[in-house]
Amino acid sequence: MTYSSNRRKLGAILGAAFALLAAAPAFAQAPSDKPVRIIVAGPPGGTLDVVSRLLSDGLQKELNQTVIVDSKPGAGGAVAVSDLMQSPHDGNTMIVTLDAIVSEIPHIVKLRFDMAKEIKPLVELARGGLVLVGNPAVPAKNLAGLIAYVKSNPGKVSYASYSAGTVSHIMGLQLNRAAGIDMAHVGYKGSPPALVDVVGGHVPLMFAGIPNAIPLVKAGKVVPYAVSLPQRSPNLPNVPTFAEVGYPQLEALAWVGLWITPDVPAAAQTRLRDAALKVMAQPAMRERLREFGLDAGQPRTPDELASTLRADFERNGAVLKSINFQPE
């Protein structure tokens, strides 16, 4: 199946999922003995699943309710969001997914709705960034050397992303523009196959999620050049940020959020947010996140999170528009 057909399939799934929005009812807040369900927009064992299970253990104690983690991967998060829409809007069902559900997906697939209005970010649970990595055969051990290498080999150096239209793709476009280079983009269907090809030397470079790249960096299978975080990653302390090496425009954060529907009663939203913030602020929780290559989320308000999403959406759109990228 081609990437184009996969994008059309994703569009169809998203459209069907959100056709349910008009019929999704809102209910009064449920009694406290009702189980809490966390819908995970990713597969078991993935980053979203790990964060959700760490959160669920703490929420069970804070809310004095049974907490169920329910993985619903697929269609860029549409399967999980569809499930959320069909569930009671009482604060006992929520979704854990990436900020990309609002800031990136609408640029990749045509939607018949405004994603930013259909789901609401309640808590930033964890955050991370990307790291530019290369196959060890690339004759450059730092970003300045890499840029010089690309310039000396015009049209011959490519970089992988985990999907076209995502920040993994966009960061390469930004580096091209900022450094005056011409890396070609190669889109994949997820990080694992892309990283496999980087390790195998089929594609020399990739903007990869830090949690996915850390084991390969530590094993010497890829060389890290710079991270997109505001500060160096504790897991990659010897790798500079892009800002440190002269490219502040490549700063980019990805965050895992706890989301609900906007019509959940205010009291239920406050109760859930306060409990989640308390759980994620625990030192043991922060250490566990660090082990997975993530930083603890910041206690930003829902309005602050929504503002960041709008800014990221606009910035991503502007970069993609510059290459005439079209959603399907």
Q: SS3 sequence, 217-234? A: HHCCCCEEEEECCCCCCC
Domain boundaries, the chain: 3-128+254-321, 130-250
pTM of the model: 0.82
Of 308, 307, 289, 272, the C-alpha closest to 122 is 272
Architecture of domain 130-250: 3-Layer(aba) Sandwich (3.40)
Residue-level pLDDT at 286: 93
Helices (H), the chain: 3-18, 47-63, 78-86, 100-103, 105-108, 115-118, 143-152, 167-179, 191-199, 210-218, 266-280, 283-291, 302-321
DSSP for residue 297:
P
Residue-level pLDDT at 328: 64
Residue-level pLDDT at 42: 86
Of 24, 14, 42, the C-alpha closest to 90 is 24
Helices (H), 74-221: 78-86, 100-103, 105-108, 115-118, 143-152, 167-179, 191-199, 210-218
Residue 254's SS3 state is strand
List the chain pLDDT tens, one digit each, 328 residues. 444 444 554 554 444 444 443 334 433 344 457 899 999 998 888 889 999 999 999 999 999 999 999 998 876 787 888 899 899 999 999 999 999 999 988 888 777 667 788 899 999 999 999 999 999 999 999 999 999 999 999 999 999 998 889 999 999 999 999 999 999 999 998 888 999 999 999 999 999 999 999 999 999 999 999 999 999 999 999 999 999 999 999 999 999 999 999 999 999 999 999 999 999 999 999 999 999 889 999 999 999 999 999 999 999 899 988 888 877 6
Answer whether 3-128+254-321 and 130-250 agree in fold. Answer: yes
How far is C-alpha 230 from the geometric centre of its chain's CA atoms? 16
Residue-level pLDDT at 32: 56
Q: Is the dihedral of CA 171, 214, 192, 55 positive or negative?
A: negative
Residue-level pLDDT at 189: 85
Length of the chain: 328
Residue 57 in contact with residue 50, Cβ under 8 Å? no
CATH fold group of domain 3-128+254-321: D-Maltodextrin-Binding Protein; domain 2 (3.40.190)
